[in-house]
C-alpha cells in the first residue's frame, strides 16, 4: 500500500483554520502531555486548571502574568521587526543584556527626579541595545554576513561583559555576590495602581501600537514588508535593502534593550549575574507565532507568560518536577509552530496503489543487467 | 530598648506563627491535603532542575531527611525556578497555608524579602544571602572548612606537589574554597601549589572536562572541582588524578580515583528550624555554620585513599570542631571576622598560582 502526500501552498487561509488551528494545536499538545502527567501520577485536568485558569484567579496572579509578559512583549518585538524584513535576530538576548547593563548603570549613577530619570534610563537602554545590534546589522546590510551567527556571537560577548561587571566594577550589596546595588527608588518603574504590573507594560503596549502603525500605515512599513517578502524585487523597485536591514535590526536591538531594563527596574530591582534566563531566545518562537501581525505577537507573548507562570503554579500545587512542566511547555510551542504550517499549506493524503511505474522500471533495468 | 522591642515583636510574630498553624489546617482542606491542625507545612524552592548531584540535590536531601524525621511535617518542593520567577512561587506557598518557605539560592533574596513583608505570619529562610527580616532568616555553611579537609587529603595524595581546582565564578565564596583547599594541603605538604581554572559558569561539563585535562597536562594529580557536574571528576579519573567533588557525593559517577567531596549537609539545619517554628521558638538569625554544626561535611573516602590519610583528615577535622585549629592561621586572613570572611575574601593565599581574575 502506498501513502501519497501532496503539499500545496494555500492561496487563501479559510478563517476557521486561521483562528481554529492555534486552539486545536494547544488542545492537541495538552492531550499528548497527558501521557507525561499520568506517568508520574498527576491528574492532568487538575494540572491544566492550575496552569491555565488559576493564573486568572486574582489581581495578584494576573499581575504575575503581566509582569512576566512585559519583557517578553518588548524583546518579542525586537525579533519581530527584523523578521518582517526577512532577518533573524537570534541574538536578542545580547541586546537585552546591553540594555540592562546600561540602564542599570544610569539608574545607579544618575540622580534625577523620577519623572526625568525614567525616560533617561529608557532612552539609554534603547541606545545600548541598538548599538549592540548595529555591528551585526551593518555586517548584514553591507556585506551579507549572516545576522543569525553574528547576533548570536554578540550575545556571548554581552554575557561575559555582564558577568565581569556584576562581579567587578558594578558589584554592590554585601557578601561579594555577583550582583549590583539595589536601584534607587526614583529609578524603579512605578506600579500600575492596584496591581504589581509596572509602567514597563504601558511602554510595551504603546510600542506595540506604534509598530502596528509604522508597519501598516507608513512608507517605511511598506518597504520593510516588501524587502521581507522579496528583497531582490524590492531592490529592483528602487528600495534600499541596506537601509531597511540596518534600521530594522538596530530598532529590534533597541526594543530588546528596553526589555532588559524593564525587567530590572520594573521587577528585579538589581542586576544579577543570571537575571534573564533566556528571554531573548524565548522571543524567537514568540515572534514566529506572531509574525502575521504585531497584535498576534502580543498575544503570543502573553500566552508564553501564562505558560511560565502557570507552569510554576503546577510545580507548587502538585508534586510535579519542573522537567515535566518543561515537556508540556515545549509540546505546546512545538504544536503551535507546526500548526502554522497547516495554515499556509494544504495537505492532501491519498491512500492506495498508484500506477507510477518508476520503481518498477528501476528494477527492470537492474534485472536486465 | 531596641532589644526589648525586638523580643516583643518576636513574641507577636510567634503568636502569628501559631495562628498560621491553625490556618494551615483550614487551608489544607481546600488544598486537598490532610486536615490535621498540628501539621506543619514546609516548602523548598530550588533554582535549577533537580539532578542526581549538585547544590539543589543537597538541599533536596535535607528536605527528605526532614520529612522522614518528623511525622508532624509535610514538605513540598519546586525546582527549576529562576530568580525572576520566584516571587509568584513564594506567594503561592505563603498564601496556601505553608508555615515555612526555604529559598535555596542567592538570587531569591530580594523577592523573598518582598514576599516576607506581605506575609508576616509565614517564616522564610534564605540560603546564602546577606539580608534578613523579622520573619526571614538566612543560612549558609562554612564550606571552605570542608575544602580544607579535602586539601589535607590532596596534600598527602599528590606526588607532583601540584594540585588543581576547576571553579565557576570569582566570588568570595569560591575564592575562600580555593584558598582553604590549598592551605589544607600545605599543612602536610609545604611545597604544594594549586593551579586554578575559572569556567565562568556553574555547570559546564565539557568546559570542566577541558579544564581538568589542561591542568593535568601541567602536572596536577589531585584535582578539586566546584562545578555542579561529575564530568570534571570523571576526566580527572581518566588522567589518574585524585579528585574531589562538591555539594553531594559523586562517588558513583567519579570513578576509581575519587577521593572525597565537600558535602552540604542541610538536614540538621532544616530539622532545627522546623522544630523551632513548631515550638514558637524560631527567631530570625544569620547562620554561617561550620563543621561543628554538621552542615559542613565530607563524603566517605574513595577506595584508593590510604587509611593513614583518612585518619589524618579525621584528626584535623576534630581539631577544627574543637576550635584548636583555624583554617586561616598564618595567612593574611588570620583574625578576620566571619562578616569579613563572608564578603571580602578577594585574593589568593600563598600557594595558589596566578591571581584572581581582575575585578
- Residue pointed to by grid coordinates 572548612: B145
Percentage of chain A surpassing pLDDT 70?
A: 95
pLDDT at A6 over 90: no
- Scanning chain A, the segments in alpha helix (DSSP H) are 15-39, 44-48, 59-84, 92-109, 114-143, 147-167, 199-217, 219-229, 231-236, 241-263, 279-289, 294-317, 322-344, 358-368
Q: What is the pLDDT of residues B162-214, one digit of tens each?
A: 999 999 988 999 999 999 999 999 999 999 999 999 998 888 899 999 999 99
Task: Read off the C-alpha cell for A213.
Answer: 502603525
Report the pLDDT value the prediction gives residue A353, as an integer from 0 to 100: 58
Are residues A282 and A72 in contact, defined by beta-carbon separation less than 8 angstroms?
A: yes
Report the pLDDT value the prediction gives residue B218, as an integer from 0 to 100: 96
- Asked whether residue B352 is domain-assigned, the answer is no
| Greater pLDDT, A347 or A187 | A187
Task: Read off the C-alpha cell for B48.
Answer: 535549577
* Whether residues B34 and B180 fall in one domain: no
| Greater pLDDT, A343 or A359 | A343
* Whether residues B113 and B222 fall in one domain: no
Of B140, B163, B198, the residue that ends a domain is B140
Task: Read off the C-alpha cell for B198.
Answer: 575559572
Domain holding B225: CATH number?
A: 3.40.50.2300
Residues 6+ apart with CB under 8 A from B156: B188, B189, B306, B308, B309, B312
* Whether residues B108 and B196 fall in one domain: no
* Whether residues B45 and B68 fall in one domain: yes
* Whether residues B180 and B204 fall in one domain: yes
Q: Which of B85, B114, B131, B357 to mutate to test the interface with A (most CBs of A within 10 A)?
A: B85
- Residue pointed to by grid coordinates 609545604: B190
* Whether residues B6 and B121 fall in one domain: yes
* Whether residues B48 and B84 fall in one domain: yes
DSSP letter for each residue of B10-71: HHHHHHHHHHHHHHHHHHHHHHTS---TT-EEEEEE-SSPP-SSSHHHHHHHHHHHHHHH-T
pLDDT band at A369 (very low <50, low <70, confident <90, very high): very low
| Positive or negative: CA dihedral B31, B33, B39, B40 | negative
- Asked whether residue B280 is domain-assigned, the answer is no
* Whether residues B66 and B85 fall in one domain: yes
Q: Is the pTM of this model over 0.90?
A: no
Q: What is the pLDDT of residues A197-223, one digit of tens each?
A: 999 999 999 999 999 999 999 999 999
Distances (CA, A) of A250 to A12, A143, A193, A210, B60: 33, 16, 33, 16, 45
CA distance B97 to B44: 14
Report the pLDDT value the prediction gives residue A273, as an integer from 0 to 100: 87
Report the pLDDT value the prediction gives residue B105, as an integer from 0 to 100: 94
Task: Read off the C-alpha cell for B81.
Answer: 525556578
Residue B110: its chain A contacts at CB < 8 A?
182, 268-270
* Full residue range of the structural domain in which residue B91 is found: 2-140
Q: What is the pLDDT of residues A257-274, one digit of tens each?
A: 999 999 999 999 999 988
Percentage of chain A surpassing pLDDT 90?
A: 70
How many Cβ atoms are within 10 Å of B262's Cβ, its own excluded?
Answer: 27
Q: What is the pLDDT of residues B284-338, one digit of tens each?
A: 989 999 999 999 999 999 999 999 999 999 999 999 999 999 999 999 999 999 9
Q: Mapping DSSP to helix (H, G, I), strand (E, B) and coil, where does residue B177 land?
A: helix
Q: Report the range out of A311-315, B76-80, B99-103 with the highest average pLDDT.
A: B99-103
> Which of B120, B75, B119 lies closest to B95 in space, CA to CA?
B119
Are residues B179 and B344 in contact, defined by beta-carbon separation less than 8 angstroms?
A: no
In the predicted model, what is the mean pLDDT of residues B23-49?
Answer: 63
Radius of gyration of chain B (CA): 21
| Positive or negative: CA dihedral B77, B78, B83, B89 | negative
Percentage of chain B surpassing pLDDT 90?
A: 82
* Whether residues B153 and B118 fall in one domain: no
* Whether residues B109 and B77 fall in one domain: yes
A169–B359: do the CB atoms touch at under 8 Å?
Answer: yes
In the predicted model, what is the mean pLDDT of residues B267-274?
Answer: 96
Domain count, chain B: 2
Of B92, B124, B140, the residue that ends a domain is B140
Across the interface, which of A164, A173, A312 has its CB nearest the CB of B85? A312
Are residues B50 and B78 in contact, defined by beta-carbon separation less than 8 angstroms?
A: no
Report the pLDDT value the prediction gives residue B201, as an integer from 0 to 100: 85
**A47 interfacial to chain B (CB closer than 8 Å):** no
Mean pLDDT of chain A: 89
Residue A325: its chain B contacts at CB < 8 A?
80
Searching chain B, which residue's CA lies closest to the CA of residue A173?
Answer: B130
Are residues B225 and B154 in contact, defined by beta-carbon separation less than 8 angstroms?
A: no
| Positive or negative: CA dihedral B105, B107, B109, B114 | negative
- Asked whether residue B240 is domain-assigned, the answer is yes
* Whether residues B147 and B136 fall in one domain: no
Radius of gyration of chain A (CA): 24
Report the pLDDT value the prediction gives residue A340, as an integer from 0 to 100: 80
Q: Which of B92, B94, B168, B204 to mutate to test the interface with A (most CBs of A within 10 A)?
A: B92
Of B140, B160, B186, the residue that ends a domain is B140
* Whether residues B131 and B213 fall in one domain: no
Q: What is the pLDDT of residues B8-25, one digit of tens each?
A: 334 434 444 444 433 333
pLDDT band at A173 (very low <50, low <70, confident <90, very high): confident
Q: What is the pLDDT of residues B335-349, one digit of tens each?
A: 999 999 999 999 999
Report the pLDDT value the prediction gives residue B309, as an integer from 0 to 100: 96
Instruction: List the single range of A270-279, A303-312, B154-163, B282-291 with lowest mean pLDDT.
Output: A270-279
Q: Mapping DSSP to helix (H, G, I), strand (E, B) and coil, where does residue A291 land?
A: coil
pLDDT band at A355 (very low <50, low <70, confident <90, very high): low
Amino acid at each position: 500500500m502506498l501513502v501519497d502526500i501532496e503539499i500545496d501552498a494555500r492561496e487563501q487561509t479559510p478563517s476557521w483554520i486561521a483562528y481554529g488551528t492555534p486552539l486545536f494545536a494547544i488542545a492537541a499538545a495538552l492531550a499528548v502531555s497527558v501521557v507525561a502527567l499520568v506517568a508520574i501520577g498527576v491528574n492532568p485536568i487538575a494540572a491544566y486548571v492550575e496552569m491555565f485558569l488559576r493564573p486568572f484567579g486574582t489581581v495578584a496572579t494576573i499581575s504575575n502574568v503581566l509582569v512576566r509578559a512585559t519583557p517578553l512583549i518588548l524583546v518579542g518585538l525586537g525579533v519581530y521587526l527584523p523578521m518582517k524584513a526577512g532577518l533573524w535576530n537570534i541574538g536578542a538576548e545580547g541586546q537585552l543584556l546591553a540594555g540592562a547593563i546600561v540602564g542599570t548603570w544610569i539608574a545607579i549613577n544618575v540622580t534625577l527626579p523620577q519623572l526625568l530619570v525614567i525616560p533617561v534610563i529608557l532612552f539609554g537602554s534603547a541606545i545600548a541595545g541598538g548599538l549592540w545590534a548595529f555591528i551585526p546589522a551593518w555586517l548584514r546590510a553591507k556585506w551579507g554576513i549572516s545576522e543569525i551567527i553574528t547576533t548570536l556571537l554578540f550575545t556571548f560577548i554581552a554575557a561575559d561583559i555582564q558577568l565581569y561587571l556584576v562581579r567587578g566594577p558594578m558589584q554592590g550589596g554585601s557578601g561579594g555576590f555577583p550582583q549590583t546595588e539595589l536601584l534607587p527608588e526614583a529609578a524603579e518603574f512605578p506600579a500600575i495602581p492596584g496591581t504589581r504590573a509596572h509602567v514597563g507594560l504601558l511602554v510595551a503596549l504603546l510600542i506595540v501600537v506604534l509598530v502596528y502603525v509604522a508597519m501598516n500605515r507608513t512608507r517605511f512599513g511598506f518597504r520593510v514588508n516588501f524587502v521581507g517578502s522579496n528583497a531582490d524585487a524590492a531592490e529592483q523597485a528602487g528600495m534600499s535593502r541596506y537601509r531597511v536591514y540596518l534600521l530594522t535590526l538596530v530598532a529590534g536591538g533597541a526594543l530588546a534593550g528596553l526589555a532588559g531594563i524593564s525587567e530590572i527596574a520594573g521587577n528585579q530591582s538589581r542586576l544579577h549575574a543570571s537575571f534573564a534566563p533566556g528571554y531573548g531566545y524565548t522571543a524567537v518562537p514568540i515572534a514566529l507565532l506572531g509574525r502575521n501581525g504585531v497584535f498576534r505577537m502580543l498575544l503570543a507573548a502573553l500566552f508564553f507568560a501564562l505558560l511560565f507562570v502557570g507552569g510554576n503554579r503546577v510545580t507548587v500545587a502538585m508534586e510535579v518536577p519542573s522537567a515535566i512542566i518543561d515537556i508540556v511547555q515545549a509540546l505546546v510551542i512545538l504544536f503551535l509552530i507546526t500548526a502554522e504550517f497547516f495554515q499556509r499549506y494544504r495537505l492532501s493524503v491519498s491512500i492506495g496503489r498508484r500506477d507510477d511505474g518508476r520503481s518498477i522500471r528501476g528494477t527492470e533495468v537492474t534485472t536486465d543487467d | 530598648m531596641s532589644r526589648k522591642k525586638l523580643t516583643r515583636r518576636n513574641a507577636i510574630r510567634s503568636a502569628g506563627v501559631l495562628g498560621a498553624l491553625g490556618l494551615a489546617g483550614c487551608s489544607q482542606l481546600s488544598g486537598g491535603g490532610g486536615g490535621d491542625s498540628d501539621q506543619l507545612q514546609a516548602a523548598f524552592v530550588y533554582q535549577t532542575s533537580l539532578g542526581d548531584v549538585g547544590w539543589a540535590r543537597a538541599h533536596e536531601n535535607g528536605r527528605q531527611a526532614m520529612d522522614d524525621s518528623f511525622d508532624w511535617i509535610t514538605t513540598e518542593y519546586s525546582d527549576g525556578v529562576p530568580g525572576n520567577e520566584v516571587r509568584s512561587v513564594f506567594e503561592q506557598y505563603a498564601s496556601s497555608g505553608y508555615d515555612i518557605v526555604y529559598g535555596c539560592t542567592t538570587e531569591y533574596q530580594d523577592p523573598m524579602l518582598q514576599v516576607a513583608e506581605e506575609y508576616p505570619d509565614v517564616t522564610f529562610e534564605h540560603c546564602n544571602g546577606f539580608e534578613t527580616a523579622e520573619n526571614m532568616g538566612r543560612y549558609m555553611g562554612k564550606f571552605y572548612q570542608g575544602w580544607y579537609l579535602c586539601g589535607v587529603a590532596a596534600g598527602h595524595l599528590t606526588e607532583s606537589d601540584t594540585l588543581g581546582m576547576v571553579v565557576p565564578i570569582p566570588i568570595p565564596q569560591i575564592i575562600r574554597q580555593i584558598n582553604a583547599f590549598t592551605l589544607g594541603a600545605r599543612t602536610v605538604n609545604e611545597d604544594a601549589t594549586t593551579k586554578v581554572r575559572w569556567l565562568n559558569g556553574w555547570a559546564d561539563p565539557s568546559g570542566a572536562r577541558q579544564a581538568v585535562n589542561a591542568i593535568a597536562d601541567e602536572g596536577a594529580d589531585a584535582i578539586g572541582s566546584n562545578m555542579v557536574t561529575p564530568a570534571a571528576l570523571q576526566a580527572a579519573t581518566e588522567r589518574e588524578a585524585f579528585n574531589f567533588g562538591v555539594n553531594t557525593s559523586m562517588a558513583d559517577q567519579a570513578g576509581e580515583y575519587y577521593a572525597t567531596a565537600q558535602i552540604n549537609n542541610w538536614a540538621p539545619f532544616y530539622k532545627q528550624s522546623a522544630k523551632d517554628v513548631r515550638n514558637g521558638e524560631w527567631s530570625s538569625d544569620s547562620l554561617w555554620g561550620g563543621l561543628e554544626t554538621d552542615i559542613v561535611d565530607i563524603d566517605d573516602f574513595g577506595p584508593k585513599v590510604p587509611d593513614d590519610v583518612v585518619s589524618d583528615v579525621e584528626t584535623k577535622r576534630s581539631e577544627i570542631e574543637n576550635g584548636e585549629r583555624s583554617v586561616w592561621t598564618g595567612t593574611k586572613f588570620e583574625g578576620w571576622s566571619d562578616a569579613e570572611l563572608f564578603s571580602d575574601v578577594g585574593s589568593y593565599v600563598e600557594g595558589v598560582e596566578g591571581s584572581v581574575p581582575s575585578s
